[in-house]
Structure 1
Amino acid sequence: MKKLVSALAVLGFAPQLSIAASSNELETITTTASRLAVTSTENPVSLSVLSEVQLEDIGVTHIERALRLVAGANMQHGNGQEYLPALRSQVLSGAGACGGLLTAEDGIALRAAGFCNINELFESHFEAAKRIEVLKGPNSVLYGSNAIHGVVNVITSDTTSDEARIGLDIGSYGYSRARMQAGSESLGLGSALTITKDTGYRDGEGVEQQKLSLKHKHQGQFASVVSGMTYTHLDQQTAGYITGADSYKDETLAKQNENPEAFRKASSFRAWSEVSWLWNNTDTVLLKPYLRWQEMEFVKHFLPGKPFEENGQTGVGLQTLVQSELSTNIQLDWGVDAEYTQGEMLQYQPTPTQGSPFLQATIPTGRHYDYEVDARQIAPFAKFTWQQDNWLLELGGRYESMRYDYHNFLPVGRTKEDGSECSKGGCRYSRPASDIDRFDYFSPKFAIRYAFAQSHIAYANISSGYRAPQAAELYQLQRAQRKASLKEENANNIEFGVKGSTEKLTYQAAVYVMEKENLIFRDSDFFYINNGRSKHAGMELELRYQLSSNWKIDLAATHAKHTFEQNSILNGININGNDLDSAPRHLANVQLHWQALENLRWSLAWHHVGDYFTDPENQHRYAGHDLLTLRGRWQISPQLALTMRVKNLTNTRYAERADYTSFSGERYFPGRPRNVLVSLDYRW
């Protein structure tokens, strides 16, 4: 705690960035693509923006529902608020897999770079978002570690206007949610509150969640200041996988909960203040200090012995940006990002292990891991932009240095808590000695853009991304491994794209090829190593077309192939060239909108998930699924609106996620049958 107080004293009033905007049109001002307020048509990147109108139309009850509208995204909903992410990738799973995708709220990462959690987007206030921005492909130049496959940035609503609103959602299977927003323009202060309760479709599941966001704006004579805060709390009773081939198709089995003991409790808090001013009448300066705190407790029902984990982190950070006009056609953006985080983790098992004599002998009761990590991160970056007539060139780079100071509070090695040995070769869990680990990486990027017509561009970019090993990969070892000598995962990407808009059509299309090296994974000896390689190649298309004055269509479609590029033998099979598991080659979301009356509109959405392999050996497969959703919105008065959504309209039996392990065989998170969500919104 003393270290944290010291860091606050140093960083608390030193400051980064963010700016604002709205809508999903390509000429809309955005934040994520450049950490500056520029139009997305000017950016030679693939960027999807989900507007407030789109999010309200969907009635987002889970972040996966929103990201269905993004080509290349494939979030697999687990249970409750849990999920596994995918963006231009296979579905990411495992202790450090969350490091492949950076998630943020108002430009601030939800977790520190070395302490991510695979489900961390439930700690964002996406239910009250002004928009969600999804930046695809490696973007470590702007965001540093973890931005390998892209960035998902939730932009909270500007609640500081005099408008107030209240909303109530009632749905099937005991779902209810209250939403409130209110503000005062004269005070420059606003708030948003969301309270959710969901008793669930399956036995013994349930979610209670509360989220509160505050925002304050002040325009001074020389500088403007925008400040924000978000607090979230989750209390969840979790239903795990159901097992057995095609068990998700059986109504009785789909409702069952094989892990009634599973739960998750989590709280998070973030606060930030963004200061911006004009320096020397030519340079724009943005400073953004922030504070982040999080704690979580859950049972690892998917492991033998079903141990408990408690983890947390407290940290402070600073983002800075200076935008300098060097000449009429050359601009330099540069800055330094810095962060200090103190993270902690405890895994303990209160009851004896059930199962085989080997499991009982090697997985004892008591503490398995108990450690603390002080993490320091500093990253200078710069980007030159040259623009002449219809051409634009960008050249940027970021050097990032991360240091982990790890402190182990238990006996070193694979022993019991008291230091005694386990029989049958030793205990399962192994603890490395206290140590210091450091990671340094330089991320370059080059991009070119050509405007071939008004509001239409073609672009190409070459970029590199990386992620440092997560604390879980370095310090939660197993079997005989005493030290994980890991280096950074890295990716090199090349992308070509076109995007633009006309009076009736808005579109963007991209093709990309990305190769990843030094992938971190557990080998057959249960050692963390990182000599893996993978290749990711795909085509994406997003468009919105106004068919007539009353009809409109939206499309987000992906064709991609994600493959292993390493010689690894699993169960006698060399997986080199195989599809990565949980990586469907085809994804599509199509929405047809009909403005039936001036105050009444309908939409029908089709969501397609193609078939995919559920194991690296490519011996087991899930057939994929197709879902229909019907939505209708009646604007009863200028202040009052009623929305109805019928999800899974055809009552399809499907799996949100399908998986295969040699221990359990086929296993699934079953999708909900047909269900209804009705919303009433009142503004004044």
Structure 2
Amino acid sequence: MGAERIRALVALSCACAIGGASAAEAETILEQVTVTGTREKERLVETPASVGAVKAEALAADKPAHPAQVMNQIPGAAVAVTNGEGHTTAIRQPFTTSPVYLFLEDGIPSRSPGFFNHNALYEINVPQAGGIEVNRGPSSALYGSDAIGGVVNVLTRVPPTKTEVGGSVEIGEHGWRRALLSGGSGYANGGFRADLNLSATDGWRDDTAYDRKSGTLRWDHFIGDSTSLKTVLGFSEIDQDTGANSPLVREDYKHDPTRNYLPIAFRKVSALRLSTSFEHETADSLLSITPYVRDNSMDLLASFALRFDPSLAETRNQSYGLMAKWRQDFAPMRARLIAGVDLDMSPGSRRENRINATTRGSGASQEFIDYTVGPRIYDYDVEYRGISPYLHGEISPTDRLRLTAGLRYDDMRYTFRNDFAAGVVQAGTSFYGQATDSTVSFRRATPKLGATYALDRDTHLFASYNQGFRAPSESQLFRPSRATSRASALALAQSAVDLDAIRAEQFELGIRGVVAGVSYDLVAYDLTKRDDIVSQRDPETTQTITTNAGKTRHRGIELGLGAPIHRAVRLDVSMSYAWHEFEDWETAQGDFGGDEQASAPRFMSNTRLTWTPTAAVRAQLEWSRIGSYWLDDANTVKYGGHNLFNLRGNYTLNPTWSLFGSVQNLTDKRYAESAQLSTRSTPVYSPGLPRTVIAGVEAKW
């Protein structure tokens, strides 16, 4: 029975969206399942949400060097590279580092909601994952704070049913080298798997080396036919010279793209996650209890702050949590009720020193070439506590119609203790406001409503209404930015602790199905955010204030298509067209109501042509398009967007050995991973990877 349960979990972990389907799976949208939309295994066609995914098979074949190389295959989702595996994300939002996304591993947040990191995907072993699911749009009614733009759930790989060992070694340009090692075994009542990822690169730009060690251990054990235990241990150790895709003035961007104005920047990351899920399932009920612990730490000399608030920070955060739920199914009208509670206790700390940087040049091309450590500017402990009960219900009044509803209540609290007295700390000509010891609380109830309707066997409609919210994070509340006077520093500290939570609501309508072997998924959405938390920086004085500001509206259409155009050729298309606008947005720099948001391309697409003439050969040509976008909120300067082409291939020599390779940026296009306005409104561009070749060999026993 244990082996059968493992095979069932394997099938579940392979659930995919249209964009990730293989040549023989055009019709499988009708059978696909998802676990992210409800935390329960559920048919995608009965899920009133936009859930896209990348299969385990696609991850294993593509062996992405960065999450962007697979995440961009999902309609409406895009990831841009900062450095190493660092990233910004755009899911129904502009490309941003703001805390509007929730990152999960097997349904458990990889970090506490109070200690957000926009680079959270580099803390997870993505290349050796069992799939990635992305639930686009607000999901706070199930997952709580952060789930506004979307939820990214990275699935671990299921243990094998028999002993297997394998691994791959690859090398590439710019000093790229990586070993992916894996092994596991099954037994009568379960199985285990271990994955190890050892990656390193010299970086294609100056002083951007990167080293990573990460791994995942998973053990599944079954007690009889109805009870199971799943234990997952994940860890990552990362050491990188960031430069965080150091932006360049246009002349250097065009003619000297390897240059790095910020070579002193670095980050050292340590992440550990351990959880054990207990599930007892009967014919019509399920009890699930998952305790977990997390440990996250980072030493950071932030490149993005060097020009206006240079510092060296040590942040630490531990978490102790529990996720518990009970599900009961009822025979009449296939009714289902899920009741659960999430508990999170996360103590953390911040120790931060001002640095005195040695620079060369001035303006947007100023270089930071050395530094000395200055006085301590922040020294505090803060504990996040969250208690979040929720209810989710489903019912089918008819065979074709399924209705869902949910409600979650979040009670969140920060307990803050400052090792400095309340007031101001001065470092040279800079001033840093200090909050007094205090408790800051946020409470929010978030509902959701949804419906799916089968027009016929091959055509399904869905509609939904979802609310979302985002409570301010630790750094937004208690780490206000640098001020130029004592009075300003006090005002910044007070405005930070007075921040409100971001509120969001979304209406969504979609249709998915299969026509003449072509699978499709078409979605339209309208998402409004209120009281957005923004950091407003004056480009002249560089003084920054974090505040709640106005109202933004995000509307768009997302489309996924999968079509077998020949016995050996398949076409997959993911695209979106969206408007990200300010509706009510007035700051010290002006009134931006009616303008588009910066870093918000209207059009994004990913097209893949896959050729599999035999079971041993796979070749894929990928075309990725990012449309133009404004560099500033006043809509005065624009980046023209770019088109990139990538090539991947796999060749199986025999059952044991295979070869693989890729060419990123096939045409060697000069493009920007991000673009913005810098000091004194100068356009700056962070150049993307030039043409890069990677090749490797893989063995399986």
Q: TM-score by structure 2 length?
A: 0.89
1:298 aligns with 2:300: yes
The 10-residue stretch of structure 1 (562-571 or 394-403) with the greater mean CA deviation from structure 2: 562-571
Residue 641 of structure 1, CA deviation: 1.7
The 10-residue stretch of structure 1 (281-290 or 495-504) with the greater mean CA deviation from structure 2: 495-504
Q: Which residue matches 1:404?
A: 414
Cα distance in structure 1, aligned partners of 2:200 and 2:348? 30
Cα distance in structure 1, aligned partners of 2:505 and 2:322? 27
Alignment of structure 1 residues 270-419 onto 2, 5 Å: 270-278=273-281, 282-301=284-303, 302-303=305-306, 304=308, 306-329=310-333, 330-351=335-356, 365-387=374-396, 388-416=398-426
CA RMSD of aligned residues (A): 2.2
Residues 567 and 43 of structure 1, relative CA distance in 2, 3 Å threshold: closer
The 3-state SS of whatever aligns with 2:667 is coil
The 10-residue stretch of structure 1 (455-464 or 521-530) with the greater mean CA deviation from structure 2: 521-530
Cα distance in structure 2, aligned partners of 1:368 and 1:598? 60
Q: What is the identity, as a one-letter code, of the residue corresponding to 2:508?
A: E
Cα distance in structure 1, aligned partners of 2:261 and 2:111? 30
The 3-state SS of whatever aligns with 2:121 is helix
2:565 aligned to which of 542, 547, 554? 547
Q: Which residue matches 2:544?
A: 526
Deviations 1:315-372 (A, max 9, x none): 111111111124422211111111100011111025368799xxxxxx9931111111
Residues 664 and 355 of structure 1, relative CA distance in 2, 3 Å threshold: farther
Cα distance in structure 2, aligned partners of 1:286 and 1:80? 37
Q: Which residue matches 2:151?
A: 151
Residues 278 and 602 of structure 1, relative CA distance in 2, 3 Å threshold: closer
Cα distance in structure 1, aligned partners of 2:649 and 2:477? 50
Q: Which residue matches 1:249?
A: 254
Q: Which residue matches 2:270?
A: 267
2:520 aligned to which of 500, 503, 507? 507
The 3-state SS of whatever aligns with 2:61 is helix
1:217 aligned to which of 214, 220, 223? 220
Residues 487 and 19 of structure 1, relative CA distance in 2, 3 Å threshold: farther
Contact 2:177 2:200 in 1 (8 A): yes
Residue 62 of structure 1, CA deviation: 0.6
Cα distance in structure 2, aligned partners of 1:442 and 1:230? 32
Residue 414 of structure 1, CA deviation: 2.4
Alignment of structure 1 residues 621-640 onto 2, 5 Å: 621-640=638-657
1:133 aligns with 2:133: yes
Contact 2:13 2:155 in 1 (8 A): no
Cα distance in structure 2, aligned partners of 1:246 and 1:136? 38
Residues 450 and 666 of structure 1, relative CA distance in 2, 3 Å threshold: same
Residue 67 of structure 1, CA deviation: 0.9
Contact 1:243 1:664 in 2 (8 A): no
Residues 568 and 364 of structure 1, relative CA distance in 2, 3 Å threshold: farther
Q: Which residue matches 2:700?
A: 683
Contact 2:299 2:313 in 1 (8 A): yes
Cα distance in structure 2, aligned partners of 1:53 and 1:447? 31
Cα distance in structure 2, aligned partners of 1:224 and 1:550? 41
Q: Which residue matches 1:10?
A: none
Contact 2:59 2:128 in 1 (8 A): no
The 3-state SS of whatever aligns with 1:334 is strand
Residues 669 and 165 of structure 1, relative CA distance in 2, 3 Å threshold: same
Residue 456 of structure 1, CA deviation: 2.5
Residue 661 of structure 1, CA deviation: 2.2
Contact 2:247 2:675 in 1 (8 A): no
How many residue pairs align between the two structures? 648
1:177 aligns with 2:195: no
The 3-state SS of whatever aligns with 1:379 is strand
Cα distance in structure 1, aligned partners of 2:653 and 2:554? 48
Cα distance in structure 1, aligned partners of 2:566 and 2:373? 67
Q: Which residue matches 1:72?
A: 76
Percent of aligned pairs with the same amino acid: 28
Residue 679 of structure 1, CA deviation: 2.5
Residue 434 of structure 1, CA deviation: 1.2
- What are the ranges of 5 or more consecutive residues in structure 1 without an aligned counterpart? 1-16, 357-362
The 3-state SS of whatever aligns with 1:628 is strand
1:565 aligns with 2:574: no
**Which structure 1 residue ranges, 4+ long, deviate > 6 Å from structure 2?**
352-356
1:581 aligned to which of 589, 598, 605? 598
Residues 19 and 285 of structure 1, relative CA distance in 2, 3 Å threshold: farther
Residue 107 of structure 1, CA deviation: 0.9
Residues 246 and 114 of structure 1, relative CA distance in 2, 3 Å threshold: farther
Residue 564 of structure 1, CA deviation: 1.0
Cα distance in structure 2, aligned partners of 1:682 and 1:606? 29
The 10-residue stretch of structure 1 (658-667 or 316-325) with the greater mean CA deviation from structure 2: 658-667
Residues 664 and 110 of structure 1, relative CA distance in 2, 3 Å threshold: farther
Contact 1:615 1:661 in 2 (8 A): no
The 3-state SS of whatever aligns with 1:254 is coil
Cα distance in structure 2, aligned partners of 1:413 and 1:309? 20
The 3-state SS of whatever aligns with 1:113 is coil
Deviations 1:121-176 (A, max 9, x none): 10011010110000001101111100011101110112344222111121111101
Q: TM-score by structure 1 length?
A: 0.91
Contact 2:662 2:695 in 1 (8 A): yes
Residue 633 of structure 1, CA deviation: 1.6
Q: What is the identity, as a one-letter code, of the residue corresponding to 2:402?
A: L
Residue 455 of structure 1, CA deviation: 4.0
Deviations 1:454-509 (A, max 9, x none): 14310100010001111111111243223221111010100000112367322211
Cα distance in structure 1, aligned partners of 2:251 and 2:568? 42
1:236 aligns with 2:240: yes
Q: Which residue matches 1:41?
A: 45
The 10-residue stretch of structure 1 (639-648 or 487-496) with the greater mean CA deviation from structure 2: 639-648
Q: Which residue matches 2:166?
A: 165
Cα distance in structure 2, aligned partners of 1:72 and 1:414? 44
Residues 307 and 324 of structure 1, relative CA distance in 2, 3 Å threshold: same
Residue 28 of structure 1, CA deviation: 2.5
Alignment of structure 1 residues 71-90 onto 2, 5 Å: 71-90=75-94
The 10-residue stretch of structure 1 (374-383 or 221-230) with the greater mean CA deviation from structure 2: 221-230
The 10-residue stretch of structure 1 (522-531 or 283-292) with the greater mean CA deviation from structure 2: 522-531
Q: What is the identity, as a one-letter code, of the residue corresponding to 2:517?
A: K
Contact 1:23 1:53 in 2 (8 A): no
Q: What is the identity, as a one-letter code, of the residue corresponding to 1:500?
A: G
Cα distance in structure 1, aligned partners of 2:66 and 2:605? 19
Deviations 1:399-425 (A, max 9, x none): 1110000111113222237xxxx66xx
Q: What is the identity, as a one-letter code, of the residue corresponding to 1:333?
A: I
Deviations 1:622-657 (A, max 9, x none): 111101112222111122221121111111111111
Contact 1:19 1:30 in 2 (8 A): no
Residues 597 and 152 of structure 1, relative CA distance in 2, 3 Å threshold: same
1:516 aligned to which of 525, 529, 532? 529
The 10-residue stretch of structure 1 (336-345 or 214-223) with the greater mean CA deviation from structure 2: 214-223
The 10-residue stretch of structure 1 (477-486 or 644-653) with the greater mean CA deviation from structure 2: 477-486
- What are the ranges of 5 or more consecutive residues in structure 2 without an aligned counterpart? 1-8, 17-27, 362-371
Contact 1:22 1:30 in 2 (8 A): no
